Amino acid sequence: HEKRTGIVCLGLHAFCCGAKLWEEKHPEVAKALWELAESHAQQDPTFRTTLSFTRLTAEEAIKQLRAQGFADDVLPSRSGMSNVLNRNGYRLRPVLKAKPQKKSPKPTPSSPISGNVTEIAKAKPSCA
């Protein structure tokens, strides 16, 4: 029936088993984490990717969530917090500055000395 209708049927075992993500278990803490991560996020300066890089470490995120009043039992460990941040697109990368475009070399006009030398050479008779 799945092939005919296009609806995938989940059995009770598949529906009820498996660990839920931390974001699903604690949505209010996750919302505070996303606001915190957005305040530290920076877009890629080349605009080649849609990923936003952040300077927020997992340890700093836990520290700031504790300061907001969230208990330790709802906060993940440091490695768990880094997994949560990475899974949701907040990669810890060094923030790059946009590189300025290189200036193209300007064509140099012919120097006035070279023009005078050729005229002088034409005016002088050869010594031979």
pLDDT tens by residue, 45-74: 666 665 556 778 889 999 999 999 999 999
Between 23-27, 91-95, 122-126, the lowest mean confidence (pLDDT) is in 122-126
Q: Could you give the angle at the alpha carbon of 116 between the alpha carbons of 112 and 120, nearest 5°?
A: 175
Whether 54 contacts 92, CB under 8 Å = yes
Rounded mean pLDDT of the chain? 76
Say which residue, 104 or 73, is predicted with more confidence.
73
User: Measured between alpha carbons, how far is 30 from 34 in angstroms, rounded to an integer?
Assistant: 6
Of 54, 50, 70, the C-alpha closest to 62 is: 70
User: What domain range includes position 50?
Assistant: 20-98
Answer yes or no: is 76 within a domain.
Answer: yes
Q: Quickly state the pLDDT bin for 81 (edges 50, 70, 90).
A: very high
**This prediction's pTM:** 0.56
User: Measured between alpha carbons, how far is 41 from 46 in angstroms, rounded to an integer?
Assistant: 15
pLDDT attached to residue 118: 55
User: Can you tell me the mean pLDDT for 92-119?
Assistant: 61
User: Measured between alpha carbons, how far is 27 from 25 in angstroms, rounded to an integer?
Assistant: 6
Of 35, 27, 26, the C-alpha closest to 73 is: 26
Answer yes or no: is 25 within a domain.
Answer: yes
pLDDT attached to residue 96: 57
Answer yes or no: is 111 within a domain.
Answer: no
Percentage above 70 pLDDT, the chain: 60
Answer yes or no: is 36 within a domain.
Answer: yes
For residue 80, the one-letter residue type is: G
Other residues' Cβ atoms within 10 Å of the Cβ of residue 78? 13
Answer yes or no: is 112 within a domain.
Answer: no
Considering its fold, how many domains does the chain have in total?
Answer: 1
H helix or E strand, kind and range, residue 54? strand 52-54
Answer yes or no: is 108 within a domain.
Answer: no
